[in-house]
Homo-oligomer: A and B are copies of this chain.
Amino acid sequence: MSNMVITIGREYGSGGHEIGEKLAKALGFTFYDKELLTMVAEKSGITEQVLQKADETASNPLFAPYYPPSIDPGSLNDRVFRMQSDLIKEKAEKENCVIVGRCANYVLDDRDNVIRVFIYADIEKRINRIMSRHGIVDRDVAVKLIKKTDKQRRSYYQFYSEMKWGRIEGQDILINSGLLGIDGTVALLKTLVEEKMGK
């Protein structure tokens, strides 16, 4: 068996990042989320602060300058997406790793050594999680933040992958993190990965 890559898409507040991080630790895999941005910063010489604004954000063609297609360098968003995609492909060649977000399921859709996971949760659980993690006391603030972040992730995903976000197409397994909780979900996914790797 070759190396194995787990991609994780996630609704905001579902615990997808934490599940990915704990799963990577449990399996002894490398974990990539914002780490990919740091690497792009190092390679491109663009500061992380600037890149951050373009991370997991679809480019808006209305605000882009016009170039003939043959020489169009693309928006910063497009370039960040392409640089992250190249890094993701490079990692998927040889590393055991867990990659959160960045359309990694789509970027790696021609590969067999990939398990594509999507984490979601009931809205009430997500509100409680976001309130407690970010010390938010006003429930409405948490609701707005969830809506805004999900909208951004959905636009980004749909813009670059041309698939619908949080649907079965492009995913191997979608799981409600409320079913078994964070640690229970990590344990189940670990079983799944080990089964797939034939251990």
A residues lining the B interface (CB < 8 Å): 115, 118, 120, 166-168, 171-176, 179-180, 184, 187-188, 191-192, 195-196
Are B168 and A180 touching (Cβ within 8 A)? no
Q: How long is the Cα–Cα vector from A191 to B115 in the complex, in angstroms?
A: 18
Supply 7 A–B pairs (Cβ within 8 Å), ascending by A.
A118-B168, A168-B176, A173-B176, A180-B195, A188-B191, A188-B195, A191-B191
The 8 closest A-B pairs by CB, nearest first: A174-B174, A172-B179, A172-B176, A173-B175, A120-B168, A191-B191, A168-B174, A188-B192
Are A173 and B174 touching (Cβ within 8 A)? yes
Residues of B within 8 A of A120 (CB): 168
Q: How long is the Cα–Cα vector from A120 to B172 in the complex, in angstroms?
A: 9
Residues of B within 8 A of A168 (CB): 118, 120, 166, 174, 176
Q: How long is the Cα–Cα vector from A166 to B169 in the complex, in angstroms?
A: 10
Q: How long is the Cα–Cα vector from A174 to B120 in the complex, in angstroms?
A: 11
Residues of B within 8 A of A192 (CB): 179-180, 188
Residues of B within 8 A of A115 (CB): 179
Q: How long is the Cα–Cα vector from A118 to B120 in the complex, in angstroms?
A: 15
6 further interface pairs, Cβ-Cβ under 8 Å (given A171-B174, A187-B195): A168-B176, A172-B176, A179-B192, A179-B196, A188-B192, A188-B195
Are A184 and B175 touching (Cβ within 8 A)? no
Q: How long is the Cα–Cα vector from A168 to B173 in the complex, in angstroms?
A: 11
